Amino acid sequence: MPGYDPRSYRAEGYGMIAGLLFLRHLCQFCGHLNFVPLQQMFCDNLGLVTKVNKLFQFRLAPAQAALHSEYDVLATIHHLLSDFTSLPLIAHVKGHQDQKVAYINLPLPAQLNCDADILATHELFHYPTTCEHVPLLPAAQAQLTIGGRTVTRKLSPTIRRQHGLRLLKTYMHQRFQWSNDTIESVNWEAFSCAFRSRYQFKTFTFKLCFWLLPTGSVLHRRTQRYDPKCPACNQLHECNDHLFQCTAASRRKWKASFILSTRHRAELESTDPVLTHMLLAGIRSYFDAQPFPSSEFAKYSDPYQDLLRSQSTIGWGHLVRGRFSSQ
């Protein structure tokens, strides 16, 4: 995907392409009929080395790899190498060897790799890349773009995910009466990461996040013999919101522990104190079934006000269930 790390698989491939293109244009500029003899190439990405070598093992290998990650890079490398009269040896060199052995004592390939790592790290921190669209490399012949963003790896899962998101948006619109703007304002990547981190409890987590846990009122609605009351405080209708808003001593103890652990985690991660205050105030307002105390935050600047409006539109109950505003 776009916005790659300069030291990543794709960046290593771009480095190899750049070197091969330089040789091609050098030969064309000098009027050579054949390429400069190239005997060896080195790369510190073993996966890339293995894949490039496999592309030359049989004739249909490039076509068979068409759905592999970063195929456009692989196809371009294969196309450039195919023009050589003899295939050079593409070998792996272990990266960061200067961390254990003095630079002067390293062999030339390892020294060159250390130099390249320094340049890549400098580029990463001083010239970050955030492009959304990757130019089509001609050798690839085709490119997948979804929503204006180029997809260069995990093609099948990405297509399935986008299809699922379309269905999920329709469900969210019907289930929570959210507008498209509200749906788009949620940080779904963060929600997905949180959901996957508890995937072993996926059934419970899904029902929690969509207000489908088998509380008293839910069970009573399905089967009349179940009591709709809350077993902790005898509230007439125990709904999914009531699980968090119950005033029983056991639930108050759990909620206090929840808020305390959230504060400790925020302090541990050096979170902006205003954001921590806002987060805890939103959680308390939901637990107490009270409106958010907006007056406490009136003195803060516009970005904080935009965040408050965005998260209030989504709902603080949704925040407890992992749906944070992208603001």
Tokens of 97: 């060897």
User: Does residue 156 lie within any of the structural domains?
Assistant: no
| Backbone angle region of 311, left / alpha / beta, with phi > 0 → left and psi within -120 to 50 → alpha | alpha
Same domain, 254 and 302: yes
How many domains is the chain built from?
2
User: Do 138 and 268 fall within a single domain?
Assistant: no
Is the residue at 100 inside a domain?
Answer: yes
Per-residue confidence (pLDDT) for residue 3, from 0 to 100: 39
Same domain? For 15 and 130 the reply is yes
Q: Would you say 324 and 186 are in contact if contact means Cβ atoms under 8 Å apart?
A: yes
What pTM was estimated for this model as a whole?
Answer: 0.62
Ranges of residues in the chain with a pLDDT under 50 are 1-7
Instruction: Give me the pLDDT at residue 35, please.
Output: 65
Give tens-digit pLDDT for 77-92: 999 988 887 888 888 9
Measured distance CA(228)–CA(234) in Å, rounded: 9
Q: Which SS3 state, helix, strand or coil, does residue 80 take?
A: helix
Q: Are residues 61 and 119 in the same domain?
A: yes
| Residue 193: CB atoms within 10 Å | 11
Its domain, for residue 267, covers 186-211+244-320
Last residue of a domain, one of 129, 149, 169: 149
Token digits of residue 305: 């006000």
- Please answer whether residues 14 and 76 qualify as being in contact, where contact means their C-beta atoms are separated by less than 8 angstroms: no
* Angle at the Cα of 185 from the Cα atoms of 166 and 286, rounded to 5 degrees: 110
